[in-house]
């Protein structure tokens, strides 16, 4: 089409590697990956300056070539057949005493979560990342190079956060629940009640297929739920939360005053509150399920606890489309949390996922998957291979 413009690619479902491998080689102009819209300003400023544009483009081209070489090397590594990968599943000693019974079964809604309860659990490190200030909080405040900018940004963020909390400018809502569950192969099955004879929802899971060439297992999230054949009664939780109700209105008010800084600040704070909400709710869930000790905010942020809350679209379960099943299970739309046609959550300051409580459960990355698992996964989902390949494109270990 003769376009002579830089191309900026960003958002939660994109990556620097995908941009380097799949997009940049097809386009002759600068093609830059940016993590989210709030980071575009710095990139565009550089692109508008002829000297800085040349530097940015040269550095970007070198980095993208490195990523392409890295990607090619990754694809050259051997993979296991899915049957062999399943034979090397996570070794778990299934014992009834490790399968705690939740305090209740079914759903509970949180229609108005007090924001002041979320503030202590905010992970400020990622707040600074939004503004391209790389460093851990609170050390970044004393960084010789970044400290002055970080302190000014933090002060402005605290001032606006105080307003948001005390004037209730944003609203946090959520829903969570527990259900009887077991693993059926690589699927996690939730049942309507303790009779476990009526299926409520089924989440097909993917499994690592890389040949580690050592003793490491090939993990799947289904490994952390008691298999049906054990006869043990396990449970799984699920959740969806947002702290973004009112974000568009507040940011829009700032934008109407040509105050883009506070508009971006609003969105960054809403994101932090949503992540904090997920952290605080997970602690409540663990107390209502199996946790006895009380953790500090620092321990919560560092996830020094039993159990995980994997989110669909992330490394352990990279298929975003499973959010559809999750939202139907939770009735999340009744709280105003919606999914776009590409399964992005709105408001964007939202977090959702499932809860796994077994002591062996841990986070991992599925990584590359081979055609045999994709075909098997598509059959389990009741979908076509072509559709699954489209949604799992970043994980495919082959070219369809």
Tokens of 112: 């108005």
25-43 CB burial, b ≥16 within 10 A, e <16: eeeeebbbbbbbebbbeeb
Cα–Cα distance, 106 to 280 (Å, whole number): 20
CB atoms inside a 10 Å sphere around CB 205 = 24
Which H helix or E strand runs over 103?
Answer: none
Say if residue 45 is preceded by a cis peptide, omega within 30 of 0.
no
- DSSP 3-state of 94: coil
Task: Tell me the sheet residues that pair with 220.
Answer: 207
Do 289 and 103 meet the contact criterion of CB atoms below 8 Å apart? yes
Contacts of 204 (CB under 8 A, 6+ apart): 186, 187, 319, 322, 377, 380, 381
Do 141 and 151 meet the contact criterion of CB atoms below 8 Å apart? yes
Contacts of 127 (CB under 8 A, 6+ apart): 137, 154, 157, 268, 269, 272
Cα–Cα distance, 383 to 325 (Å, whole number): 14
Do 136 and 125 meet the contact criterion of CB atoms below 8 Å apart? yes
Mean pLDDT per 10-residue segment, the chain (400 residues)? 88 81 90 79 88 90 91 81 98 96 98 96 92 90 94 97 97 98 98 97 98 94 98 98 97 96 96 97 96 79 87 97 98 96 96 97 96 98 97 91
Tell me how far the alpha carbon of residue 193 is from its chain's centroid.
29
Per-residue pLDDT tens over the stretch 362-385: 999 999 999 999 999 999 999 999
Contacts of 140 (CB under 8 A, 6+ apart): 125, 128, 133, 146, 147, 150
Which H helix or E strand runs over 299?
Answer: helix 297-301
With left for phi above 0 and alpha for psi between -120 and 50, is residue 26 left, alpha or beta? alpha
Cα–Cα distance, 337 to 242 (Å, whole number): 7
Contacts of 130 (CB under 8 A, 6+ apart): 36, 38, 39, 264, 268, 271
For tokens 């996690």, name the residue: 188
CB atoms inside a 10 Å sphere around CB 396 = 17
Do 133 and 145 meet the contact criterion of CB atoms below 8 Å apart? no
Strand ranges for 146-249 from DSSP E: 171-184, 187-191, 199-204, 234-245
pLDDT at 13: 65
Say if residue 368 is preceded by a cis peptide, omega within 30 of 0.
no
pLDDT at 38: 64
Strand ranges for the chain from DSSP E: 7-10, 31-34, 106-113, 171-184, 187-191, 199-204, 234-245, 338-339, 345-346, 350-355
Cα–Cα distance, 180 to 197 (Å, whole number): 11
pLDDT at 302: 76
């Amino acid at each position: 089409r003769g376009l002579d413009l830089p191309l900026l690619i960003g958002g939660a479902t994109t990556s620097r590697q995908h941009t380097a491998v799949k997009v940049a080689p097809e386009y002759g102009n600068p093609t830059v990956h940016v993590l989210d819209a709030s980071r575009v300003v710095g990139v565009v400023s550089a692109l508008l300056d002829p000297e800085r544009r040349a530097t940015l483009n040269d550095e970007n081209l070198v980095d993208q070539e490195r990523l392409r070489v890295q990607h090619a090397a990754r694809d050259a590594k051997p993979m296991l057949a899915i049957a062999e990968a399943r034979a090397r599943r996570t070794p778990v000693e299934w014992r009834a005493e490790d399968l705690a019974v939740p305090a209740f079964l079914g759903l509970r809604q949180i229609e108005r979560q007090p924001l002041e309860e979320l503030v202590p659990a905010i992970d400020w490190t990622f707040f600074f990342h939004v503004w391209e200030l790389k460093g851990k909080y609170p050390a970044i405040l004393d960084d010789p190079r970044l400290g002055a900018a970080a302190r000014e940004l933090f002060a402005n963020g605290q001032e606006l956060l105080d307003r948001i909390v005390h004037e209730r400018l944003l609203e946090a809502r959520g829903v969570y629940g527990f259900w009887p569950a077991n693993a059926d192969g690589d699927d996690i099955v939730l049942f309507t009640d303790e009779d476990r004879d009526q299926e409520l929802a089924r989440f097909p899971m993917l499994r690592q297929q890389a040949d580690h060439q050592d003793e490491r297992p090939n993990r799947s999230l289904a490994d952390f739920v008691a298999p049906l054949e054990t006869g043990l009664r396990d449970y799984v939780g699920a959740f969806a939360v947002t702290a973004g109700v009112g974000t568009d209105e507040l940011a829009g008010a700032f934008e109407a005053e040509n105050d883009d800084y506070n508009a971006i600040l609003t969105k960054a704070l809403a994101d932090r509150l949503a992540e904090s909400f997920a952290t605080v709710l997970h602690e409540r869930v663990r107390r209502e399920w199996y946790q006895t000790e009380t953790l500090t905010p620092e321990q919560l942020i560092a996830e020094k606890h039993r159990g995980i809350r994997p989110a669909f679209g992330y490394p352990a379960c990279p298929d975003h489309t499973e959010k559809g099943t999750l939202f139907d299970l939770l009735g999340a739309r009744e709280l105003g949390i919606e999914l776009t046609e590409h399964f992005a959550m709105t408001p964007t300051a939202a977090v959702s996922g499932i809860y796994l409580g077994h002591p062996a459960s841990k986070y991992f990355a599925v990584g590359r998957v081979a055609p045999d698992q994709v075909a098997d996964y598509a059959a389990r989902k009741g979908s076509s291979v072509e559709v699954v390949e489209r949604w799992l494109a970043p994980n495919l270990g082959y070219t369809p």
